[in-house]
Amino acid sequence: MARIADLKWWQKVVFYQIYPRSFADGNGDGIGDFYGVIEKLDYLKELGVGGLWISPHFPSPLFDCGYDVADYCDVAPEYGDLNLFGKFLEEAHRRDIRVILDLVLNHTSDQHPWFIESRSSRDNPKRDWYIWKDGKNGGPPNNWYSTFGGSAWEWDENTGQYYYHFFFKQQPDLNWRNPEVKQAMWDAVRFWLKMGVDGFRLDAVGTIYEVEDLRDQQSGITQEELFLMGYRAKTPQDHRRVGKLWEKMYSYQVDLPEVHDLMKELRQVVDEFPDRVLVGETDDIRFYGNGEDELHLNFNFPLMRTRFITPSWVRKNQRERLGALPAKAWPCNTLGNHDSPRMFSRYGDEEHDEAIARVNLALILTLKGTPFLYNGEEIGMSDYLFTDESRFRDLLALFFLKLAREHPDLISPEEAPLIAARRGRDKCRTPFQWANKPNGGFSPESVEPWLPVNPNYAQGVNAEDQERTPNSLLHFYREIIRVRQENPALIAGDYHELGRDKDCLVFLRQSEEQTCLVVLNMSNKKRKMKKYLEEDRLHTLFCSRSRENQDWVFEPYEIWVAQVN
């Protein structure tokens, strides 16, 4: 049983992901930047977050919204420069807010100087920094696909070979079997750690290696057929079948054993600097290693993969996840990020969306593990399914638009842009809604933001209006985060399931210092519950309504957190 004093900082804080292009436009050009982030640090401190994850801020041609890095040791000019970043880091640390950066290990931009050199000639010293192969039978080296559509191989006319890319063709994969690549990347890691950055979130960590012999994949299906099968999928069984075929299609390109040796090496690099953290974009528990020699945190993505968060879903997830972790590993929970539908849209029922969002937040903040929030969810920002294709910025949306238009027998011309909006990621990356003003207060009225602003900012979905409304979602976030941070059991305590009620999730969090009871009615029905403890033994820490003389009756979507005396 853990004590709060024994935990590291990254086990205790609430993390908050900032998508810098959309968070705060400090210089009025329609693009978020570090000027804006610095201005909003007091807002973040008051919210209660203790850690920031900054999505890629590096120079980039933006074919994949910054995940195509052109320089690992600089700041994109539209966000500021290294001096401004240093000021941001200093100001965050002054407020006891730690900062981790997105580290893209798998690939660079095709405009990175390394790749420009690599493709200049076959005998260039950096040729082997990427994966170049001769074609076969007049075509690519094998039948592998890029996960973002089409072949995983791109022909280079200048040198007469193909290069490999797991993602877009503008994102060539690095050859991590080359020691020079490894050294250059570890130098970049040390660059930021020496500056004072507190760690990294590792992007697409499972895709770093692919089988060396380049054998053909054996899924027996084309990628287009798989995408269309996913479009037609209706039942959980349909979606599971699609998932199994996806795994088979990419089995030689993802999660190879070599990646774990690389993570152990990266852990040694990071451990040269005290008190830093590595967070993996993976739910594969193997990336924890023995609990101390690979990554510190891996996301509990299985918790997210459902239409509705229900008590039975959470209980199953916690039994499987916590039961599988190595002895010294620490859980990590989230319900949203820049690649997935916004929490408000994904789990809502279009009638009780805000009540559901409140219960789901209470869940993330009371389960065992480090919670990660996504910018904007604290004011109820939702997906914005705009269909003006001229405003699409995600190439994935444009890929699905093209695919939809190639199948008019299945998808009408009118439906195609909506399919693209749903399958793309622009919908959850729209600018933060700071006020009920033009452009949601994100940028001046005369400036067009880089993505359209969701017009629901005018219906109270903005920070300024919610600041003035005592029972707003923003105030709820602040209060429930405060309750978590003030109670050791909610941070350090072990998780103990109580009961199997269909609508109410009930569990204990128990540390050496404290025991807390958590009851979440996750339904739209009033529930009479079995009495697990006498109420005179319970001191309410938080409740979404009065608990006097309630005798274990819970209103729809009620939240109750109590200390057990």
The residues that are catalytic are 203, 281
Query: Would you say 431 and 443 are in contact if contact means Cβ atoms under 8 Å apart?
Result: yes
Query: Would you say 287 and 280 are in contact if contact means Cβ atoms under 8 Å apart?
Result: yes
From residue 370, how far is each of 270, 389, 505 by CA, in Å?
20, 38, 19
Cα 287 to Cα 114: distance, rounded to the nearest angstrom:
28
**Amino acid identity of 256?**
L
End-to-end CA distance of the chain: 18
Sort 460 into a burial class: Cβ within 10 Å, 0-12 / 13-18 / 19+.
middle
Cα 286 to Cα 292: distance, rounded to the nearest angstrom:
12
Query: Would you say 338 and 53 are in contact if contact means Cβ atoms under 8 Å apart?
Result: no
Residue 355, classed as helix, strand or coil, is helix
Residue keyed to tokens 């099968």: 229
Nearest Cα residue to 361 out of 320, 322, 309:
309
Nearest Cα residue to 206 out of 290, 283, 147:
283
**Amino acid identity of 230?**
G
Cα 229 to Cα 152: distance, rounded to the nearest angstrom:
20
Cα 252 to Cα 215: distance, rounded to the nearest angstrom:
8
Sign of CA dihedral 345, 349, 352, 355: negative
Nearest Cα residue to 28 out of 62, 85, 78:
78
Pairing outcome for strands 15-18 and 51-54: parallel
Cα 248 to Cα 225: distance, rounded to the nearest angstrom:
14
